[in-house]
Each structure stands twice: as C-alpha cells, then as structure tokens.
A and B are shown apart, each in its own frame.
Chain A
Amino acid sequence: MTMDPHNKEDQASDQGCQGSCGCGSGDGKVSRRSFLRVGAAALGGMAALTAALSPLRELDPDDLPSVEEFIQKHYKEMSGEQMQAALGRIEKDVQKRFGVTPEVADIKPLDGVEFVYALNLSRCIGCRKCVHACVAENNQSRSPEVQYIRVLEMPRGTTDLEQGDHHYDRPKVPSDHHYYMPVQCHQCASPPCVKVCPIEATWQESDGITVVDYDWCIGCRYCEAACPYWARRFNFAEPQIPKDKLNKKMSYLSNRPRHKGVIEKCHYCLQRTRQGQMPACLEVCPVGARKFGNVLDADSDVTQILKHKRVFVLKEDVGTLPRFFYYFDERYPRSQGGEA
C-alpha cells in the first residue's frame, strides 16, 4: 500500500533511475512491473528481518549487564579492591532479584589441601537426599530444574551406565535387585572441560576444584560437551528460586545465583569445604555412603579408603584422572541377608 504513491511518481518521472541502481531492466528504465516485484521482495525481506529480530522485544533491560559487570576483569586478574567492588555489585544484584541481602565472599583454596571424594556403593540406597540438599545449598534453579547430582539405579552385576535409570520411582528404596550410583562432577586432575574453554572462564584451583567464573562465561557449552561424566549444567532460562529458599551464604566461584546463559556444576561446596565444613550432599546422606577429605593428609578418611578399599573411577580409559572414587565393602548383597 505504501508503495503506490512512489510508484506513481516513478511513472511520472520515468527517467528517475539511470540503471545505476541495478533495480530495473538493462536499459536504465524501471517498468512498473519490475518496481513492484523488487519493491515487494524488498518489503518482504525487511518484514522478515524485523520479525526475526522480534525476540528482542522481550528483552528486559535488567537482563543486560551493568557497566561494572561489563568492564569487570577476569577473576584471576582482579585486585583485592576490584574483587570487593564485584562482591558488592553481586550483593546488590541478588538484593534486586530476590529481595534478600546475602553475604557474598571470595573464598580462596587452603594450602596443602587437595580434596577427594569417595562414595561407598555398598551403602548408597538411592534416596536422592543428596540431590536435593545440593540444590538447596547451592541455589540451583528450581524452574527450569538444575541438579548437579544424578542418581542412577543400576542392575546388579554390571557397571554399564547405559543400563542405569535416572527416573526410578519406587515407593521404597533400595530395590533388592539394583544398586545406586550417584554421579556428579569428578573434579578431574586432567579436566577436558577446562581444556576446551575458549576464554578461560573455567579452571582448576590448587585444591583440585574446577571452578567457573559465571561473569566470564559466554555460554558456548563446549565444556558441557567435553565432560565425559555429563556433570555440567546450562542455564537455558533465567533461574527461578523462591526467595525464602535462597541460601544467603554465598561465594563468588560457587553458589551465588547464576544468570541465564552460563554454565554451572558441582564445586564440592567450596563455600563450605574451604572453611573446613563437609559438603552438603555428604552431611545429608542418611547411610554415610559419602566420604570427603584431604588426600594429602595420610590419616584422612579418603586416604584410608584409597589405601584399604577396592576403589574405581568412572571411565578410567578417557584419562581424566577423577578425584571422585567409588568403592565398596566386602559383604553379601542385601537380597542375600546383607551382613554388615
């Protein structure tokens, strides 16, 4: 409709186009037909372009990074003052999003500590308490759901993960014919996820924990694809957490609330463990199947387990050198009267 007046003008001054515009026929004159054709195509193209950009209409100005966030340096390059400024900004951001004032800290690794996890498959009963304690401790999104730990129900007699089931739904666990294998980030000593990150937004710290700088992550998801244990989780949407469920004790590299478009994963609850506490998944385990400690300490629980128990790691052949070990006790299966 809008073209009509132009078209009439064109007809009136037929010499308007000298062929240099490349729109009409070779002799430099634009016929009504060719103008309509090209004009309609151009209009259609513009409309399609506009429509393709239409998701921008839903862009909330709050989603855009603030100037401070935009010019913030990489975690390792920040000075003490800059880190304090960043922590203050995060506190304000959390206050704005959830209406809750958190305590955000930057907790550094301890000297002479290398964390190792061990999990007793003979004891795990698959109650999934660890999964949900982790969600509560680490401020994971409730909608869409993000969980660091997944518990596999495995048929007895195999370690073939293909046969595991995440969705077991029994009135009571454990089942007599299955064992349960929780899987989370293995904090590998040779982490493929760190190797593939194009921008060093994820790296291994001196205590063996691989961390993510959520402000540096660009959301390319290479690390998610590289992880052989399927341990990384991507925030496809803005994480939703009820404000009364928010854990207010936060740390920069671990459980502060994430934004849409960044990756996250288990970090051995570094906001707890770097201050001497146990990880949340361990404390909640009703059967004591989970063991955690400093492998550089010869008397620690995990060192004893590595020395005396039969341990194995998942997918040893891929050469990731996990710091997460599975072990088991010498005992009969529960179905045969399970001697403790």
Chain B
Amino acid sequence: MPSNSSEKKIQSNVAKQVTPLIVMVVFVLLTIWFILDPVGTGVPSMVVVEVDASQIDSSPIRQMLGDSPTARIGGVDQSCTACHGALLGTTRRNAPLAQHQHVKLNHGINDDCLNCHDAEERDKLALRTGQKISFKMSHQLCAQCHGTTYRDWQDGMHGKTLGSWQLQSRQRRSLKCVECHDPHAPAFDSFEPLPGPHTLRMPPEHQKNQDKIDDGKPATASPSPLRRWSWPTDKEGSGH
C-alpha cells in the first residue's frame, strides 16, 4: 500500500503543477480574446433612414372648392359662369365633353356629370330633389347614396379629424368628403410606402429569413421575428 499512496502523492503533485499552467493559458487566451474583441461588443451600425418632412405632412390631401369654383380651361382659371352663363347651357345627359377632358369619371354607376352638377346654374351642385347647394356642401350630395358612411362620418367614425380630440375645441376640424376623395374617382389611389424598419429587433430585408423554419412547404409569408415566442402550430389539424 505505501507504494500506492506515494503514487497518489506524485499524481497530486503533478496535478498541482499542471493546474496553474492550464489556468494561466486560459487567462492568456481570455486576454487575447478581450483585446482583439473578435465578436464585437458594440451595437451593429444600421442603415439610417431619413424621411423628408413633406412626406409626413398632415395637411389634407385634397383642397375643397369654395363657393365660387373655377376650372382651368386653356391654361386659365375660369369661373363656371364665364363659359356656362350664356354661351353653353346644355342640359343634355351623357353629352360628349369638349372641355374638362382631364376629368375621368370613375364613380361606379354614378356616371353622368348632371347627377351632381346643376344643369342650369353651374356654380352650384344639385341634390336629387332639385335643391341647389354650394360646392362647400357637397357632402350632402354624397350622403344621398353613401348613407351609412355619412352616418359614420357624422359620428366621427369615418374620415379624418384634425386639430383636437376635444369635441368643443375650436381647433377641431373634421375633413369633408372631397378633402380626401376625388368626387370623380372616389376610390383611394395607391400610395408609395415609406421605408420599412431597420431597427435592431426588426433587421433589414436580407436578414429577415434567418430563423425560417424549413418544413418543405412554400412559405405563405416570411416568418416574423415573433415566431421565437410562439407555440408550434399543429399542422395536422384535428387528427386526434
């Protein structure tokens, strides 16, 4: 047994001698690692997106015509009665247009000028009842067909309201129909979207498919970063 114990002693001595060496090597490697900083401890630099102030302008996208509307005829702004007063006074429906060629009527079944414009007095609009209204009151005209939307607009559920959320405030202004919609083509035009996110948690386009799960199926949409926190969906459905 003594030989065995001395063997153990030698082994423990060797261990004693080797351990500090290993520790030293580890420390030195750590030193090199920290100083060279191969991974990088800083925040990665991202694309800086600058959006022009004109692109986030909150003013109405259309201007409403006033009480004395004008139209641009031959490069000059003319009042309606300048032409329609004595010279032209057609009350014919679906008359071919000699002027106002830029107006492209795209308003569903509402496809005639005189549905809205008054036939005799061109500075006015006309309701179905024949009552003449000014251009400023054009929302009454829209309400004849778009009743539910008009009701929503009156209650503040449709349309854009600027200025204040306080109902009594003088700054509060609900935009009229024609301040957003073109009455001749009321459907909204498509917009060019502003740049997407380049934030640290929503990295740019080329990084977004990193955590895509390859299940052999064509991706319907690129997986969102939220996937990390989601439960796996049961693709088999109601199998059990």
**In the complex, A327→B202 CA distance in Å?**
26
Q: Name A's interface SS.
A: mixed
**A47 contacts B157, C-beta separation under 8 Å:** no
Report if A217 contacts B (CB, 8 A).
no
The residues in B between 24 and 52 inclusive whose CB is less than 8 angstroms from any CB of A are 24-25, 27-28, 30-31, 34-35, 41-51
**B193 contacts A145, C-beta separation under 8 Å:** no
B192 surroundings in chain A (CB, below 8 A): 127, 171-173
The residues in B between 148 and 185 inclusive whose CB is less than 8 angstroms from any CB of A are 148-149, 152, 155-167, 169, 171, 175, 180-181
**A166 contacts B165, C-beta separation under 8 Å:** no
**B230 contacts A162, C-beta separation under 8 Å:** yes
**In the complex, A46→B72 CA distance in Å?**
83
The residues in A between 121 and 146 inclusive whose CB is less than 8 angstroms from any CB of B are 125-129, 131-133, 135-136, 142-146
Known contacts A47-B27, A340-B149; A309/B157 CB under 8 A: yes
Residue-by-residue, is A54-89 near B (CB-CB < 8 Å gives 1, otherwise 0)? 110000000000000000000000000000000000
5 closest A-B pairs by beta carbon, nearest first, are A301-B156, A288-B160, A44-B27, A51-B34, A283-B58
Report if A7 contacts B (CB, 8 A).
no
Indicate which residue in B28, B165, B204, B230 contacts A300 across the interface (CB closer than 8 Å): B165
**In the complex, A299→B165 CA distance in Å?**
11
**In the complex, A330→B146 CA distance in Å?**
12
**A167 contacts B204, C-beta separation under 8 Å:** yes
Knowing that A44-B27, A145-B198 touch, tell me 14 more A-B residue pairs with CB under 8 angstroms.
A40-B20, A54-B35, A129-B56, A131-B197, A132-B194, A144-B45, A146-B199, A162-B233, A164-B224, A166-B197, A169-B193, A169-B196, A174-B190, A288-B158
Report if A199 contacts B (CB, 8 A).
no
Residue-by-residue, is A169-199 near B (CB-CB < 8 Å gives 1, otherwise 0)? 1111110000000000000000000000000
**B165 contacts A132, C-beta separation under 8 Å:** no
**B175 contacts A308, C-beta separation under 8 Å:** no
**A276 contacts B56, C-beta separation under 8 Å:** no
**B161 contacts A301, C-beta separation under 8 Å:** yes
Which of A8-16, A98-106, A250-258, A290-298 makes up part of the contact surface? Answer: A290-298
B171 surroundings in chain A (CB, below 8 A): 276-277
Of the candidates B148, B152, B224, the one having the most CB atoms from chain A within 10 angstroms of its own CB is: B224
Query: Can you pick out 7 interface pairs between chain A and chain B where the beta carbons lie within 8 Å of each other?
Result: A37-B24, A44-B25, A153-B221, A162-B227, A162-B233, A297-B167, A304-B155
**B49 contacts A145, C-beta separation under 8 Å:** yes
Report if B200 contacts A (CB, 8 A).
yes
**B56 contacts A163, C-beta separation under 8 Å:** no
**A278 contacts B190, C-beta separation under 8 Å:** no
Closest to A292 in B: B165
Closest to B18 in A: A37
**B157 contacts A305, C-beta separation under 8 Å:** yes
Report if B223 contacts A (CB, 8 A).
yes
**A125 contacts B157, C-beta separation under 8 Å:** no
Report if B222 contacts A (CB, 8 A).
yes
Q: How far in angstroms is the closest Cβ of chain A from B110? A: 12
B208 surroundings in chain A (CB, below 8 A): 166-167
Known contacts A301-B156, A330-B148; A45/B41 CB under 8 A: no
**In the complex, A287→B161 CA distance in Å?**
10
Q: How far in angstroms is the closest Cβ of chain A from B212? A: 12
Of the candidates B44, B48, B158, B159, the one having the most CB atoms from chain A within 10 angstroms of its own CB is: B158
**B197 contacts A47, C-beta separation under 8 Å:** no
**A51 contacts B197, C-beta separation under 8 Å:** no
**B34 contacts A308, C-beta separation under 8 Å:** no
A165 surroundings in chain B (CB, below 8 A): 221-222, 224
Known contacts A37-B20, A162-B223; A125/B190 CB under 8 A: yes
A171 surroundings in chain B (CB, below 8 A): 192
**A128 contacts B156, C-beta separation under 8 Å:** no
**A41 contacts B24, C-beta separation under 8 Å:** yes
Known contacts A155-B221, A286-B61, A286-B191; A299/B167 CB under 8 A: yes
Report if B105 contacts A (CB, 8 A).
no
